[in-house]
Chain A
């Protein structure tokens, strides 16, 4: 269970999640400090460690559109946020999955800042409003990467298998 700590609208681009001027910062240990850097309030709370891991960020349609910059996923992963959106843009979704960021596709989600959410199997419960929303499962190709613990581990296994054969 976790609280919705941030709620955003449609078409939130990777330029908003991780502004281009920080793109020279690449290490996953260093990217989190620039998460939503242009929103000094939310960014400030993150950096003050006021947002607990497992908190929810709720987006709407086309969340993560734009650039392929992986920092936009790695910064969110650094804070261990859970990202819920009606729809994700393709590259961002894949980047998140590859890095082990928890990404929930929930086409009918209704949740406001402050609401308590809980993932229960294939539904997302809004404890505050008492409503439940169906989660769209990730297709098998993406689920396999999640199950492996991310694309690094997944690829390492494949590499070892290919070298043996």
Chain B
């Protein structure tokens, strides 16, 4: 019996010929990422060593990444102190992949990793963040873990309790209509299989639509794989992956890529033809509460958000800027834009997009998690409605359990900013 992509990655990471679904394995980790919550991992890491007489040295300072993104610049003394403590730990341990609060190399972890070439096809990536699934876009088996599990990884260099997951094959065919793209695809998929439809499983993406999709688009769909409960989302790497790594991430070493076996066994296959897909909206308060835009068009919006690890890349900012150039954000609505990283921010600035958005009335915030999490900027008021390109619409997500969040693509967000109500970006359609 052949192996799925994740089976192949895990076999490799365990030094085995093959692994079967359900096997318990301890894969070696290629990259272990944390953000501010690395403070918790640090505390647990020190606790593991307590009373052992063993000096608490992390297993490999080159394979740990720490990126400050959730609350930057620090919103409170507490956060600033957490960041200070973790910064000191990073220094003491000699951790090399550290991205502090900086305008040159800072940004959201899930964009920092790919654009700096930290993620390689076929690798095992763990992160103390559920959207670590993003990195499946580059063909890594990447999944979220908690802080204590991360402390164990920092100690031992492998994950202790991975059950080889079953894989759902998602075959995406057809051609996106104008104004419809990867975000609509993933929202549609989650609506179809539900928010726990892939719990404990991997979503492996195939088909001509995925083949011709940019790495940016693949990051969108893998980012949100976790919203269907998936352990990981994976796009088997190809030419596009290699050119992204070379051109965007500046990776010069030779990269070997592989594919799942043709006779691999999938627990389920989902077929999606995108040719007739319309812009999709996830309605409050669950991510699988998805409908076509027609159903909710006209809903009044108080706050529009474009950005986050899901849709804060250059093509997303560009989409929004092109729609808003020379227009105005409706005066009954406020619009926040937060590019995923400063690299993206600077490019958008050079291309004039930041100016276009600002002139239209949008507030372009610093790269970081910002309004997505709603803990230090961009919170919504009681009863207010937000329309966001982020990935979660849970009650309380944008800092207020009395708010309502709709999720959409950057095109829908930008078109709706002009009108102040949910608006189909496909014009007369």
Contact = CB atoms under 8 A, between A and B. Distances in A.
Contacts of A73: 146
A26 B76 CA distance: 14
Contacts of B49: 156, 159
A11 B195 contact: yes
A15 B394 contact: yes
Contacts of A131: none
B148 interface: yes
A68 B163 contact: no
B141 to A, nearest CB: 14
A78 to B, nearest CB: 14
Contact of B375 (A13, A20, A27, A156): A20
Interface residues of A, number: 48
A160 interface: yes
A61 interface: yes
> SS class of chain A's interface: helix, strand, loop or mixed?
helix
B161 A159 contact: no
A48 to B, nearest CB: 21
A82 interface: no
Interface stretch (B37-45, B111-119, B213-221, B243-251): B37-45
A140 B24 contact: yes
A158 B40 contact: no
Given A91-B130, A98-B149, 10 more contacts: A11-B196, A20-B375, A68-B37, A70-B37, A98-B148, A141-B24, A151-B148, A155-B156, A156-B49, A156-B51
B310 interface: no
A15 B392 CA distance: 10
A140 B50 CA distance: 27
A151 B49 CA distance: 12
Nearest to B54: A163
26 contacts: A13-B392, A15-B396, A16-B394, A16-B396, A19-B396, A20-B374, A20-B396, A20-B399, A21-B374, A23-B71, A26-B82, A62-B196, A66-B130, A67-B130, A68-B130, A70-B40, A70-B148, A90-B229, A91-B146, A95-B148, A98-B146, A151-B160, A152-B148, A154-B152, A155-B48, A155-B152
B397 interface: yes
A64 B408 CA distance: 24
A134 interface: no
Interface string A122-151: 000000000000000001111011000011
A14 B364 CA distance: 29
B16 to A, nearest CB: 16
A89 B199 contact: yes
Interface of B: 24, 36-37, 39-40, 43-44, 47-52, 54, 70-71, 76, 78-79, 82, 127-130, 132, 144-149, 151-152, 155-156, 160-163, 195-196, 199-200, 229, 231, 286, 373-375, 392, 394-397, 399, 401
B231 A90 contact: yes
Contacts of A144: 161
Contacts of B71: 23-24
A21 B48 contact: no
Contacts of A151: 148-149, 151-152, 160
Contacts of B155: 155, 159
Contacts of B127: 68
Contacts of B44: 152
A67 B199 CA distance: 14
A25 interface: yes
Nearest to B374: A20
Nearest to B80: A24
Contact of A91 (B70, B145, B396, B401): B145
Given A16-B396, A73-B146, A141-B24, A61 B196 contact: yes
A16 B54 CA distance: 39
A77 to B, nearest CB: 11
B396 A38 contact: yes
B159 to A, nearest CB: 10
B195 A62 contact: yes
A106 interface: no
Contacts of A91: 130, 144-146
Of B71, B147, B375, B392, which is in contact with the most chain A CB atoms at under 10 Å from its CB?
Answer: B147
A24 B374 contact: no
A65 B395 contact: no
A16 B36 CA distance: 20
Contacts of A139: 24, 163
A23 B375 CA distance: 9
A133 to B, nearest CB: 20
Contacts of B36: 23-24
Interface string A99-123: 1000000000000000000000000
A69 B397 contact: no
A19 B373 CA distance: 10
Contact of A156 (B52, B144, B195, B374): B52
A50 interface: no
B196 A26 contact: no
